[in-house]
Chains A and B, each alone.
Chain A
């Protein structure tokens, strides 16, 4: 019996020792896990900062085009305002004469005599018609500038924590509007199914699409430089497949070296000449799409250029 007790005590001691060891390891593991969670949180914060800084870099790239887009309506606004200044003098003459007539400062005959003189230099019917056209043009110009500025602000504002529901077609429209100047020398074909609803950050997905389109446009420009007769084409198609939205961006540009295909989503990896491009464009696309529980892939087309394939879960 004594021997059995001794054997039990030895076994109990072994269990105690092993449990002590297990607890020690568990405590260390717990501390490491806490450390890891902190690092993950830091990484997530840094990822948000990278997306934001890439957005600012894109804004830099877009600024010349956007300035041009604003300049066009601004030019006819300026021109119309100059015309309005001339017309205001003519209107003043008509109104002063009418005022004098009402106050009996000029007789009826004098009034008609001076009125006909004014009519010879400025036809009042034309003046009324022109004023209406000018004010309509000015309104349209202001609305155009306002839409461009709104697009820019929507795009540039930092990531909001709140997840919103929006349509794929809105994201495509927003991105192509911001890039209007960059894409105007290319043939852009957009085919997008309606009611493809996504949930997430619309500015960030716009950013992903802009980065992709900028790459496609630059790739087409590269071919155009070598062959001026080349006509660059970008095709954007979006459709539903099961519970996912598929967005395809296909260009007929220079394409990628096979060795680059697996690396284009790596941070700081760029196929562009030194000093051009941050090397973060597609890495940011990858990060944004992953954050939306989607996938992104890229492949060379059989003829020319590449196709970038985005798959994002639909909300319904």
Chain B
């Protein structure tokens, strides 16, 4: 997983729970010299261990933690890459451009980003179907990112997950009502 995701978690933990907790988490789960850099890749297990500890500390389930993290992650990335986010005029425009525009921009910046495959299509003027496919199975985080995107464009969304790889489906499907 790319360091930019770890950096976001670092910021979220320090902002909400303070530096002590973050130091504790690093000591618990990471090598002693660990400093996260956005462009660098780090083991996925480190993120899972950190997120599990965060969910225990916050007394939230893992899906809830990942969802909350995903929501925060959107604003973190939007702040870092304003020029890319400003290209989109609406929530729908951005969601439909994840694979073609956003992921291709990410590929320009990072070496081997191992991005998920996202296939978004319009069902009607208020509904989007989004399919998430990744061996990392971070669909809860993806859901959080969609919420974060809706907040950015001041839209309210209702997301139903109709298929999920955690329940044996081959991919995860979200039906997003927005407006």
Instruction: For B108, give the chain A residue with the smallest CB separation.
Output: A30
Q: Does B39 contact A (CB under 8 A)?
A: yes
Task: Please determine whether A26 and B19 come into contact, CB atoms closer than 8 angstroms.
Answer: no
Residues of chain B within 8 A (CB-CB) of A12 are 11
CB proximity of A20 to chain B, nearest CB, Å: 8
Q: Does A22 contact B (CB under 8 A)?
A: yes
Q: Does B28 contact A (CB under 8 A)?
A: no
Known: A4-B19, A8-B19, A15-B37. A23 touches B109 (CB 8 A): yes
> Count of chain A residues with Cβ under 8 Å from any Cβ of B?
11
A23-B39, A23-B109 given; 12 more Cβ-contact pairs under 8 Å: A4-B19, A12-B11, A15-B35, A15-B37, A19-B37, A19-B38, A22-B38, A22-B39, A23-B38, A26-B39, A27-B108, A30-B108
A116 CA to B7 CA in the complex, in Å? Answer: 116
Instruction: Provide the B3-16 mask, 1 if CB < 8 A to any CB of A, else 0.
Output: 00001000100100
Interface residues, chain B, CB within 8 Å of chain A? Answer: 7, 11, 14, 19, 35, 37-39, 108-109
Residues of chain B within 8 A (CB-CB) of A5 are 19
**B39 partner, pick from A4, A19, A30, beta carbons under 8 A:** A19
Instruction: For B11, give the chain A residue with the smallest CB separation.
Output: A12
CB proximity of B13 to chain A, nearest CB, Å: 12
Nearest 10 Cβ contacts at the A-B interface:
A30-B108, A19-B38, A26-B109, A23-B109, A8-B19, A5-B19, A22-B39, A27-B108, A4-B19, A15-B37
- Chosen A-B contacts, 18 in total, with CB atoms closer than 8 Å, are A5-B19, A8-B19, A12-B11, A15-B7, A15-B37, A19-B37, A19-B38, A19-B39, A22-B39, A23-B39, A23-B109, A26-B39, A26-B108, A26-B109, A27-B108, A27-B109, A30-B108, A30-B109
Our count of residue pairs bridging A and B at CB distance below 8 angstroms stands at 23
Instruction: For A31, give the chain B residue with the smallest CB separation.
Output: B108
List which A8-35 residues lie within 8 A (CB) of chain B.
Answer: 8, 12, 15, 19, 22-23, 26-27, 30
CB proximity of B15 to chain A, nearest CB, Å: 11
A83 CA to B159 CA in the complex, in Å? Answer: 96
Residues of chain A within 8 A (CB-CB) of B7 are 15
Instruction: For B38, give the chain A residue with the smallest CB separation.
Output: A19
CB proximity of B164 to chain A, nearest CB, Å: 34
Residues of chain A within 8 A (CB-CB) of B109 are 23, 26-27, 30
Residues of chain A within 8 A (CB-CB) of B11 are 12
Residues of chain B within 8 A (CB-CB) of A27 are 108-109
Residues of chain A within 8 A (CB-CB) of B35 are 15
List which A107-155 residues lie within 8 A (CB) of chain B.
Answer: none
A30 CA to B37 CA in the complex, in Å? Answer: 20
Report which residue of A8, A12, A19 has the largest number of chain B beta carbons within 10 angstroms of its beta carbon.
A19
Residues of chain A within 8 A (CB-CB) of B38 are 19, 22-23
Residues of chain B within 8 A (CB-CB) of A8 are 14, 19
A23 CA to B108 CA in the complex, in Å? Answer: 9
Instruction: For A23, give the chain B residue with the smallest CB separation.
Output: B109
